[in-house]
């Protein structure tokens, strides 16, 4: 007689309830993920001389209880694990960004990250960042994904966990309210550093504003735009607008920097503006803002994206336009005008298969300019400039003027001196590109009255006060991130045809306080476009035109 053996699936000895999982994760977030928060807290308390146990101890306890309540609200069968896996991986990325770059992940950073192309995003990946994300994000998320869980919802257990946390929280506030409120009220920036609450709040607001709000009708402005009449024998205008990336004014020799970072444009008799403020601290804000009629204080992304910008008005007036892109995106500024995007996948003297040096923008200019219809022409070149953290990829070997430089994307492992040298090399190379663009304009001065306008989108932090890169909220951003270079070059024919007093313009450049708000009307004015959208008070050329 055959004996039938029946095997039963054994339940694992150890099983977690969803309320237990929530508490474990709350501890992990309190002690590990929020290390950037504690570093900032230490800085704040040290500066006010209030480093004592009575002040410090309630803060992690407060975090633990709040996070335990929040995590319990999201821990349910079938969805809880997926939520926590997503949360752990994104939190590790945010924690790394805040801890090693000093960048707070707010609405603007979410916007900038989601609108960054894959090539730019890849520049932030290195052994250090991948290791951090793996250890603090991927491994914990795998432990969560494969953790044996008790069956059922266990509402009573969850209710007890939340209720007990609320009671302990109230007791903590009763005994420590004075200390907690003093820290929170006097140092509001700390609340923006708590992970995951603030970056999730910022992401929600960005997604809501971008995808879940009612579209607004597109608004046409400058519909009356026309070009001023010229005499029949006057040469047409050829205007180069070079849009920079991540260049800060403080590192320009033209503006007083000790190192010679402008050896090329210095010989071109350019005009450098000393005090120019950006509209934002990230490309996603500064670029659409500077080309819009809205100024920094009135800037609204949805309104800006749904109305004409200065490119649209120039095109409507009859100016022939072309946008050449090497920085991963025009942020919809060139959506309705001719555009050429540099192919970064090619491999040649300027491109390595994933990124291209900015000299690639100057290739084929003669044929491209000739193909532009109309007499007066404006060509925009959006350069990669000084985009970090891979500064060393922005210039060729022969432009290594300042050594030692940081030949790595892991700038946190380089000395500040080498990081600054690498960054300064990018400024030198951009200076070379601008100078070569001026030489091209000089070669075409027989056919056109030529000029060049260069301005960067925002600046960069290079370790000052522990900050690197950019994207700090404008209200608290250092001047390194908000002060940008602005350079003009004017041919003799251009100055004569536009009736520009160069000496006057040089004085304005030294004494004036300008911003990217001036770009919109300056372009309309210098291209002689008549429209009610033009504001002479925001035209940098206007005071010096007779």
Burial 483-512 (b: 16+ CB within 10 A, else e): bbbbbbbbbebbbebbebeeeebeebbeee
Strand partners, 456: 244
> Can you give the pLDDT at residue 48?
60
- Mean pLDDT by runs of 10 across the 546 residues of the chain is 50 81 96 92 72 72 94 90 95 93 84 75 81 96 92 81 92 78 67 90 89 88 92 90 98 97 97 96 95 94 94 97 94 96 93 94 97 95 95 94 92 91 98 98 97 98 90 91 98 96 96 94 97 97 94
Query: What does 46-76 look like in DSSP terms, one character per residue?
Result: HHTT---HHHHTHHHHHHHHHHHHHHHHH--
**Neighbouring residues of 2: CB distance < 8 A, sequence distance ≥ 6:** none
> Can you give the pLDDT at residue 10?
63
> Can you give the pLDDT at residue 51?
57
Distance CA 341, CA 119 (A): 14
**Neighbouring residues of 357: CB distance < 8 A, sequence distance ≥ 6:** 350, 351, 384, 394, 395, 396, 429
Distance CA 281, CA 383 (A): 17
Distance CA 339, CA 143 (A): 48
Our CA dihedral for 525, 529, 534, 536, rounded to 10 degrees, sits at: 30
Distance CA 337, CA 215 (A): 22
Our CA dihedral for 508, 493, 433, 454, rounded to 10 degrees, sits at: 30
Neighbour count for residue 326 (Cβ, 10 Å): 24
In which region does residue 375 sit, left (phi positive, over 0), alpha (psi from -120 to 50) or beta (all else)?
alpha
Distance CA 335, CA 326 (A): 15
> Can you give the pLDDT at residue 5?
47
Distance CA 76, CA 18 (A): 7
What angle separates helix 35-47 from helix 58-74, to the nearest 10 degrees?
150
Contact 402, 421 (CB under 8 A): yes
Q: Are strands 529-530 and 226-227 parallel, antiparallel or unpaired?
A: antiparallel
Burial 421-430 (b: 16+ CB within 10 A, else e): bbbbbbbbbb
> Can you give the pLDDT at residue 175?
80
Contact 310, 524 (CB under 8 A): yes
**Neighbouring residues of 515: CB distance < 8 A, sequence distance ≥ 6:** 276, 277, 278, 279, 295, 296
Distance CA 500, CA 544 (A): 6
> Can you give the pLDDT at residue 231?
74
Q: What is the DSSP letter of 259?
A: S
> Can you give the pLDDT at residue 4?
47
Our CA dihedral for 447, 341, 329, 481, rounded to 10 degrees, sits at: -60
Task: Supply the pTM of this predicted model.
Answer: 0.84
Distance CA 407, CA 376 (A): 43
Distance CA 129, CA 121 (A): 12
Phi and psi at 141, nearest 5°, equal -70, -35
- Domain locations in the chain? 18-211, 238-490+525-535
Neighbour count for residue 291 (Cβ, 10 Å): 27
Task: Pick one of 3.40.720.10, 3.30.70.260, 3.60.15.10, 1.10.10.10 as the CATH number of 238-490+525-535.
Answer: 3.40.720.10
> Can you give the pLDDT at residue 6?
47
């Amino acid at each position: 007689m055959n004996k039938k053996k029946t095997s039963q699936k054994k339940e694992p000895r150890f099983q977690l309830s969803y309320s237990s999982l929530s508490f474990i994760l709350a501890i992990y977030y309190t002690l590990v993920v929020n290390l950037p928060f504690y570093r900032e807290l230490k800085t704040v308390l040290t500066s006010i001389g209030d480093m004592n146990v009575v002040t410090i101890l309630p803060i992690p306890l407060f975090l633990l209880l709040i996070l335990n309540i929040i995590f319990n609200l999201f821990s349910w069968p079938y969805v809880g694990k997926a939520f926590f896996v997503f949360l752990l991986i994104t939190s590790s990325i945010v924690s790394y960004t805040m801890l090693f770059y000093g960048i707070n992940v707010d609405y603007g950073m979410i916007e900038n990250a989601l609108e960054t192309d894959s090539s730019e995003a890849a520049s932030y990946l290195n052994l250090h960042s991948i290791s951090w994300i793996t250890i603090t994000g991927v491994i914990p998320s795998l432990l969560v994904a494969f953790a044996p869980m008790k069956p059922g919802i266990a509402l009573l257990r969850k209710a007890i966990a939340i209720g007990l946390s609320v009671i302990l929280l109230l007791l903590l506030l009763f005994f420590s309210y004075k200390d907690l409120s003093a820290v929170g009220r006097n140092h509001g920036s700390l609340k923006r550093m708590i992970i995951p609450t603030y970056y999730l709040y910022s992401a929600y607001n960005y997604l809501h504003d971008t995808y879940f709000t009612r579209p607004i009708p597109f608004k046409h402005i400058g519909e009356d735009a026309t070009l001023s009449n010229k005499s029949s024998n006057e040469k047409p205008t050829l205007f180069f607008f070079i849009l920079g990336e991540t260049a800060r004014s403080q590192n320009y020799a033209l503006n007083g920097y000790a190192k010679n970072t402008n050896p090329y444009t210095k010989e071109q008799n350019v005009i450098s503006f000393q005090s120019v403020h950006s509209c934002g601290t990230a490309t996603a804000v500064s670029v659409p803002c500077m080309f819009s009629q809205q100024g920094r204080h009135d800037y609204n992304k949805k309104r800006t994206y749904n109305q004409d910008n200065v490119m649209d008005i120039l095109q409507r007036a009859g100016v022939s336009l072309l946008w050449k892109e090497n920085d991963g995106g025009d942020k919809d500024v060139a959506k309705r005008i001719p555009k050429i995007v540099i192919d970064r996948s090619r491999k040649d003297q300027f491109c390595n298969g994933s990124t291209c040096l900015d000299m690639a923008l100057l290739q084929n200019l003669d044929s491209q300019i000739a193909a532009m219809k109309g007499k007066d022409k404006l060509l925009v070149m959006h350069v990669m400039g000084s985009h970090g953290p891979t500064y060393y990829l922005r210039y060729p070997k022969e432009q290594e003027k300042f050594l030692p430089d940081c030949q790595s994307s892991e700038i946190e492992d380089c000395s500040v001196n080498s990081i600054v040298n690498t960054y300064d090399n990018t400024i030198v190379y951009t200076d070379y590109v601008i100078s070569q663009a001026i030489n091209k304009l000089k070669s075409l001065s027989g056919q056109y009255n030529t000029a060049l306008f260069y301005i960067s989108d925002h600046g960069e932090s290079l370790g000052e006060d522990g900050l690197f890169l950019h994207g700090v909220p404008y209200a608290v951003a250092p001047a390194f991130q908000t002060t940008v270079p602005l350079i003009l070059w004017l041919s003799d024919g251009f100055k004569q045809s536009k009736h520009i007093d160069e000496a006057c313009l040089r004085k304005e450049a030294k004494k004036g306080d300008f911003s990217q708000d001036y770009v919109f009307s300056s372009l309309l004015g210098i291209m002689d476009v008549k429209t009610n959208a033009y504001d002479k008070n925001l035209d940098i050329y206007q005071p010096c035109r007779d």
